[in-house]
Amino acid sequence: MGKKDYTYKSHGTNSKGNHYCARDYGSDAPNKNAYHYSNSDGSYYYSNSDGSKYHNDGKGGATYTPPASAPASSASSASSGSSKK
């Protein structure tokens, strides 16, 4: 993967310790207005420039949504070993 150029739109931390960052990746990006936030409870969320999304609830649960243009098989990162001999 190559480096993506971006411009910060906004970022900061509120009085509760929750952090937010928004970036503009330009009109060529599938999601030009990417952002992420992380909360003081350990949860965080990413809306990425490639259109994918990732949420971690801070309690061991996580959800990944692949970009809309990705083939269905990319939704799972698990791979099985070959059992053929």
Give pLDDT tens digits for 24-73: 999 889 999 999 999 999 999 999 999 999 999 999 999 999 998 766 44
pTM of the predicted model over 0.85: no
Distance in angstroms (rounded) separating the CA atoms of residues 48 and 77? 17
Mean pLDDT of 14-21: 93
| Under 8 Å between Cβ of 31 and 23 | no
Chain centroid to CA 78: how far? 18
65: three-class secondary structure by DSSP: strand
